[in-house]
Amino acid sequence: MQNSSPEWPEATMGSNMVVWPPWPSHWLEGDNMDRLTVLATEYQPWICSVLAAIMIGLAGVVPLLLIPHDNQIKSSVESRNLLQLLLSFAVGGLLGDVFLHLLPEAWSLALEAGAEPHEAFTQVGLCVLAGIFVFIIVEMLAVQNHSSPENNNTVKDGSNTNRKEVTGYLNLIANSIDNFTHGLAVAGSFMVSYKTGLLTTGAILIHEIPHEIGDFAILLKSGFSRWEATLAQLYTAGIGLLGALVTLFIGTSELLGGVQFYILSFTAGGFLNIALVTVLPELLQEERPAQSCAQLLCLLCGTFTMAAVAVSC
Q: Is residue 240 part of a domain?
A: yes
What angle is formed at CA 144 by the lines to CA 138 and CA 150, rounded to 5 degrees?
Answer: 175
Radius of gyration of the chain (CA): 25
Distance between CA atoms of residues 244 and 197, nearest Å: 12
**Residue 256 falls inside a structural domain:** yes
pLDDT at 72: 53
The residue ranking higher by pLDDT, 18 or 258, is: 258
14: left (phi over 0), alpha (psi -120 to 50) or beta: left
State if pTM tops 0.85.
Answer: no
117-145 helix and 152-192 helix, angle to the nearest 10 degrees: 140
The band of 46, judged by pLDDT with boundaries at 50, 70 and 90, is confident
Residue 29 lies in a domain: no
Question: How many CA atoms does the CB half-sphere of 293 hold within 13 Å?
Answer: 2
Within a domain: residue 22?
no
Q: Per the domain annotation, does 82 fall within a domain?
A: yes
For the chain, the domain total comes to 1
State residue 122's pLDDT score: 92
In a domain, 19, yes or no: no
Is 8 part of any domain? no
Q: Which of 71-75, 125-129, 211-215, 282-286 has the lowest mean pLDDT?
A: 71-75
Is residue 24 included in any domain, yes or no?
Answer: no
Please write the tens of the pLDDT for every residue from 185-234: 888 888 877 788 888 888 888 888 888 888 888 888 888 888 888 889 88
